[in-house]
Structure 1
Amino acid sequence: MSANLPDAPALHQYLTFRLGGLEYALDYSRVQELRPLQALERFAADGEIIGGVAISRGVIMPIVDMRIAFGPRTAQHDPKTDVIILKLSDCVMGMVTDGVTDIVTLGPSQIRPFDHIGEDSDYLLGMGHIHARKLIVIDIDRLMAIRRATLGARHAA
């Protein structure tokens, strides 16, 4: 006879990365791979935020430099700069950050929602807490949808 135990809260894995002095986390299931920026065949630089188009393992994808998108600074490429290759709901794209930190596991009780965020910030899921670390947990699909819409509006103007 088995006892009916309540379901344990679902734990999720997150890839953590640094950007502008803050640490972020995104759903690890959205990560296809990590590649050094220098290992990607890049061409067609399109502007500041879109760092061009690259080919990785036969897939053509845009490269978004989040270091520029999230802060008023120029991107400094170094030989160790990693690109997070994301498999989003409607495309594959690369995202350049200040650096990948690690993979962590968080449960719902470890993520506190943000108070008073606007519609344009609905990609911010909450503040993750693990040991002494604070992680800004993001919905990468929503964030990249905003970036694509913004860039599309710029090109249409």
Structure 2
Amino acid sequence: MRQSVNRQVRHVPAGREYLTFRLGTEEYGIDILKVQEIRSYEPPTKIANAPAYLKGVVNLRGVIVPIVDLRVKFNCVGDDGQAEISSFTVVIVLNVKGRIVGAVVDSVSDVMQLSEQMIQPAPEMSDALVDTTYITGIANINERLLILMDIESLMSSAEMGLIKQLAEQH
């Protein structure tokens, strides 16, 4: 039996700041408090048999950091199925539940402060067509849509396999 999903916008404190970035032609936003730093892209060391979106690992000041290409994960790639690396391509270094993870994006745009009134719920869509699990809402800013993403839930999901679930530790 399938549970119904509540599609309301999660409570957003007044004036929460988001780091905005591009994946393909779309603009996304994540909670700025999850961002540790932004780095220029450097090719990671590949890991055998890793999913296509897991580009590999890099050594960041003595810490081995997995690098996830969000463009590949969300299918924001070119017609050839490849995500191109340009001079604007960056890695957003995230601190997710105490674990450091890198996310490759096409470019970083801005840091934006959004009030709760600016954010609308994500549209209801069939889970078979579109996975909106990690979308917390959509903001309309000067006639452009900003997709707000719960980056912590995405990176710590069992599907990603990057962060051990608490249940596994007990």
- 2:61 equivalent in structure 1: 57
Aligned 1:23-42 pairs, distance under 5 A? 23-38=27-42, 42=44
- 2:138 equivalent in structure 1: 127
Is 1:138 the counterpart of 2:140? The answer is no
Larger radius of gyration between Structure 1 and Structure 2: 1
- Pairwise CA RMSD of aligned residues? 2.0
C-alpha contact (below 8 Å) 2:154/2:160 kept by paired residues? no
C-alpha contact (below 8 Å) 2:36/2:93 kept by paired residues? yes
C-alpha contact (below 8 Å) 1:31/1:85 kept by paired residues? yes
Q: CA deviation at 1:68?
A: 1.1
Unpaired runs of 5+ residues, structure 1, are 1-8, 153-157
Q: CA deviation at 1:37?
A: 1.0
TM-score by length of 2: 0.74
Aligned 1:87-106 pairs, distance under 5 A? 87-106=95-114
Q: Within 2, Cα distance between the matches of 1:47 and 1:114?
A: 27
Q: CA deviation at 1:21?
A: 1.0
AA matched with 1:107: S
Q: CA deviation at 1:78?
A: 2.5
Q: CA deviation at 1:59?
A: 1.8
- 2:167 equivalent in structure 1: none
Q: Within 1, Cα distance between the matches of 2:141 and 2:86?
A: 29
**CA distances 1:116-155 after superposition (whole Å, capped 9, x unpaired):** 2567522111111222321001110112233xx2254xxx
Q: Within 2, Cα distance between the matches of 1:22 and 1:44?
A: 27
Is 1:114 the counterpart of 2:122? The answer is yes
Q: Within 2, Cα distance between the matches of 1:103 and 1:19?
A: 16
C-alpha contact (below 8 Å) 1:106/1:130 kept by paired residues? no
Selected match of 2:52 from 40, 48, 52: 48
Change (3 A) 1:53 1:117: same
Is 1:17 the counterpart of 2:26? The answer is no
* Count of residues paired in the alignment: 140
Secondary structure at the aligned position of 2:159 is classed as: helix
Comparing both structures, which one devotes a greater share of its residues to helix? Answer: 1
Unpaired runs of 5+ residues, structure 2, are 1-12, 162-170
**CA distances 1:52-88 after superposition (whole Å, capped 9, x unpaired):** 0111122211000111111152121224421000111
Q: Within 2, Cα distance between the matches of 1:22 and 1:30?
A: 20
Identity %: 39
TM-score by length of 1: 0.79
